Amino acid sequence: MSYNKSDLQRRMDSSYENFAKEIGGLRAGRASTAMLEPVVVDVYGSKMPLQQVGNISAPEPRLLTVQVWDANATKSVEKSIRDSGLGLNPQAEGTLIRIPIPELNEERRAELVKVARNYAEQARIAIRNIRRDGMDALKKMEKDSEISEDDHKRLSDEVQKMTDDAIKKVDERLAEKEKDIMTV
């Protein structure tokens, strides 16, 4: 294993992107098409992501719509959304499914904040593990006399700064999302 700064940065960025995607799915009382990303529909004898069965949009702040492409799949889509555990109650009108987004109560908001914090902690752990990989590579390179002690120190500081920046991005995004969730 050798030290590769750009690979470490790419992996840290990837951890952040994954976190941002997960947290984007948490609804804060406003309609977001990302809310329906985890929904899988049982159609044509196989399970397919909702995006492959219809067009999802948010025409109003408290409403999502799904325009199903095949009228025969409408019932399956409606059932999948209802059974998704998102607490949504879809209503079909032909091939258009309307999904009103209910108000969030205080208890549900606190629950969502907890989930968001959990996602953030998982992202921080992933970033720290990437830092550890980088530090281990540097130690091995110094031990094998590929780099000097001074280079090891300088590169270690570089890895630590990348780690601090990545964790700061996660914390800032979490703070935004918490504020978003708790805003009534």
Tens-place pLDDT, residues 100-120? 887 778 887 887 888 889 999
d(CA 131, CA 73): 47
What percentage of residues in the chain have a pLDDT greater than 90?
48
Tens-place pLDDT, residues 55-104? 999 888 888 999 999 888 889 989 888 887 677 889 999 989 999 887 77
- Own/partner pairs for 85-92, CB < 8 Å, 24+ apart? 86/27, 86/35, 86/36, 86/39, 88/35, 88/64, 90/66
pTM of the complete model: 0.66
Which band of pLDDT confidence, cut at 50, 70 and 90, is reported for residue 29?
Answer: low
Scan for tokens 């799915």, then name that residue. 25
Bigger pLDDT: 177 vs 34 = 177
d(CA 141, CA 120): 32
Tens-place pLDDT, residues 134-158? 999 999 999 999 999 999 999 999 9
In the chain, which segments carry CATH 3.30.1360.40? Answer: 33-100
In the chain, which segments carry CATH 1.10.132.20? Answer: 5-24+105-182
CATH number of 5-24+105-182: 1.10.132.20
CB 57 within 8 A of CB 42: no
Q: What is the DSSP string of 98-131?
A: EEE-PPPPHHHHHHHHHHHHHHHHHHHHHHHHHH
CATH number for the 33-100 domain, one of 1.10.10.60, 2.60.120.200, 3.30.1360.40, 2.60.40.1220? 3.30.1360.40
What is the per-residue burial (b if ≥16 Cβ within 10 Å, else e) of 19-33? Answer: beebbeebbbbebbb
